[in-house]
């Protein structure tokens, strides 16, 4: 299904959108990628969702991308004797290794790795940042804190440690089990939560065995400190603004969003902007003007995809939310300023043959007003390098492997097409021309720019650039 926009839309599945008919409706409204949140999804349910998505894919006749989002290490206090306490500003509050029910003076923190890592002066944020503590004494089995921002703290609320590098990997036992299950179900992308350091990606990549792309969610200050290293080891990035806004001052999040998007684009890695994009549409059929502006900003920044979370998973208007995001994205990309903004944000190419050819393909298309750049890509790398240039020509990625086409569905401006294996470049160009004619974006005699690697079917090779003509079926 060819979209009338270049940015992609990710829709989270949930109680409001789990049945096949609902998934088909979301896809028809504009969803290109479906996210399965493993925090709330059992393995049997996940496999059922994958099966339904693949059934919709078959009926639609075009590849659909599936993203499985792992929960990551969820840090929480335990329970209180009275189910909750009210912490007053200036009071002393202790987090310790005592398993007895909590009181207004203390609570059990079942994470010894936090107690070991805390230092005097570190902050602890509880219940999504509503309560803020400052460590005054730190020991291996207890941390004494002063309450800087008080409030009501109930059972099993989350704990964030924005100043603390915790010596625990990003994969919990649950994540490992979930990762094995989603790889076996043949999802296309695996999102890792609460990444702190590049080393956090190693286990996930080893377990995925190249069968799914690794997407790193940037939601902790420690990840920002090592952003470039994390990008280098990731296949894609997500600006997870919810948790990022808890662990860092809210006013810093917009600037960090721009920094992460631009760093990912510079590296040629897909980047998704997520969280609260159309939050009011959980209960309202129309968004706020501020939300529309937020989506538009991400599109102007050149993000590869924008994501809906609760809006499509549990909201009252999931299809309307996707359709609204689709309309906003299309309107931005038709805006008179859009091309100049995208052009101004382009980066110098990396010193590789693939990047040099990708730049040349874009420049030829712009100079000669060629409407189509066609890529023949086995691994997806050729199409990704072309997408990095943000060309305004249509980018057709002909993929002999359906898994490659599915994985490319999260990338800006690429129309991934499952194609027969071509024996040579001429056969690939003929196939690309046929697709362009079928899509109604070219006629016989129009020109296209072809990018490929010879010999064909060699992953990671991009070494051919050819200006060719769309030929009639008699000439093929």
Q: What positions carry a catalytic annotation?
A: 35, 76, 217, 275
**In which residue are the tokens 């906003």 written?**
328
What six digits make up the tokens of 188? 């296309």
Main-chain phi, psi angles of 135, to 5 degrees: -70, 130
DSSP string, 182-249: HHHTT-SEEEEPS--STTHHHHHHHHHTTSSEEEEEE-SHHHHHTHHHHHHH-SEEEEEHHHHHHHS-
Angle of CA points 221, 116, 120, to nearest 5°:
70
d(CA 235, CA 232): 8
Catalogue the long-range contacts made by 284-287 (C-beta closer than 8 Å, 24 or more residues apart). 284/317, 285/316, 285/317, 285/320, 286/324, 287/321, 287/324
The side-by-side arrangement of strands in the sheet containing 142-149 is: 106-108, 92-96, 142-149, 131-138, 123-126, 159-160
DSSP string, 355-390: HHHHHHHHHHHHHTT--EEEEE-SSSHHHHHHHHT-
| C-beta of residue 208 within 8 angstroms of C-beta of residue 232 | no
Q: Is the peptide bond before 455 cis (omega within 30 degrees of 0)?
A: yes
Q: Which residues pair with 133 in a beta bridge?
A: 124, 147
Main-chain phi, psi angles of 323, to 5 degrees: -65, -40
- For residue 38, what are the contacts with CB-CB under 8 A and spacing of at least 6? 46, 68, 69, 70, 71, 175, 178, 182
d(CA 363, CA 37): 40
User: What are the angstrom distances between the C-alpha of 234 and each of 135, 171, 264?
Assistant: 34, 15, 10
Angle of CA points 260, 266, 271, to nearest 5°:
45
What six digits make up the tokens of 280? 């009011």
Q: How buried is residue 409: exposed, middle or buried, by Cβ count under 10 Å (0-12/13-18/19+)?
A: buried
What six digits make up the tokens of 233? 């080891």
> Max alpha carbon distance in the chain (Å)?
84
């Amino acid at each position: 299904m060819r979209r009338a926009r270049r940015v992609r839309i990710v829709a989270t599945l949930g109680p409001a959108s789990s049945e096949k008919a609902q998934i088909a409706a979301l896809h028809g409204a504009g969803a290109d990628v479906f996210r399965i949140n493993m925090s709330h999804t059992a393995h049997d349910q996940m496999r059922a969702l994958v099966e339904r998505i693949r059934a919709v894919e078959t009926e639609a006749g075009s590849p659909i991308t599936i993203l499985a989002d792992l929960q990551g290490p969820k840090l929480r206090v335990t329970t209180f004797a009275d189910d909750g306490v009210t912490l007053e500003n200036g009071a002393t509050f202790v987090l310790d290794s005592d398993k007895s029910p909590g009181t207004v003076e203390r609570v059990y923190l079942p994470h010894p790795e936090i107690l070991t890592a805390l230092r005097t002066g570190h902050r602890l944020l509880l219940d999504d940042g509503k309560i803020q503590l400052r460590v005054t004494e730190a020991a291996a089995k207890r941390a004494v804190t002063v309450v800087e921002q008080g409030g009501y703290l109930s059972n099993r609320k989350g704990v964030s440690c924005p100043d603390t590098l915790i010596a625990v990997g990003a994969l919990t036992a649950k994540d490992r089990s979930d990762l094995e299950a989603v790889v076996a179900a043949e999802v296309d992308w695996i999102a890792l939560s609460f990444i702190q350091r590049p080393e956090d990606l190693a286990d996930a990549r080893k377990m995925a065995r190249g069968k799914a792309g690794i997407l790193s969610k940037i939601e902790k200050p420690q990840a920002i400190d090592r952003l470039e290293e994390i990008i280098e080891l990731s296949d894609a990035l997500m600006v997870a603004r919810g948790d990022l806004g808890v662990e860092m001052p809210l006013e810093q999040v917009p600037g960090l969003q721009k920094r992460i998007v631009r760093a990912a684009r510079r590296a040629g890695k897909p980047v998704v902007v997520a969280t609260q994009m159309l939050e009011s549409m959980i209960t309202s059929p129309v968004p706020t003007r501020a939300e529309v502006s937020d989506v538009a900003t991400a599109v102007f920044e050149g993000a590869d995809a924008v994501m809906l979370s609760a809006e499509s998973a549990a909201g009252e208007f999931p299809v309307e939310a996707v359709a609204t995001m689709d309309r906003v994205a299309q309107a931005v990309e038709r805006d008179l300023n859009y091309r100049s903004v995208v052009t101004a944000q382009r980066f110098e190419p990396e010193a590789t043959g693939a990047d040099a050819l990708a730049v040349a393909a874009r420049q030829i298309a712009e100079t000669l007003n060629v409407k189509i750049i066609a890529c023949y890509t086995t691994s997806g790398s050729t199409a990704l390098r072309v997408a990095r240039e943000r060309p305004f020509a249509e980018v057709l990625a002909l993929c002999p492997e359906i898994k490659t086409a599915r994985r490319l569905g999260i990338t800006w401006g690429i129309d991934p097409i499952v194609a027969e294996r071509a024996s040579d470049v001429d056969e690939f160009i003929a196939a690309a021309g046929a697709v362009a004619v079928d899509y109604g974006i070219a006629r016989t005699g129009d020109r296209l720019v072809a990018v490929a690697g010879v010999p064909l079917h060699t992953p990671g090779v991009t070494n051919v650039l050819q200006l060719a003509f769309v030929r009639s079926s008699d000439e093929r």
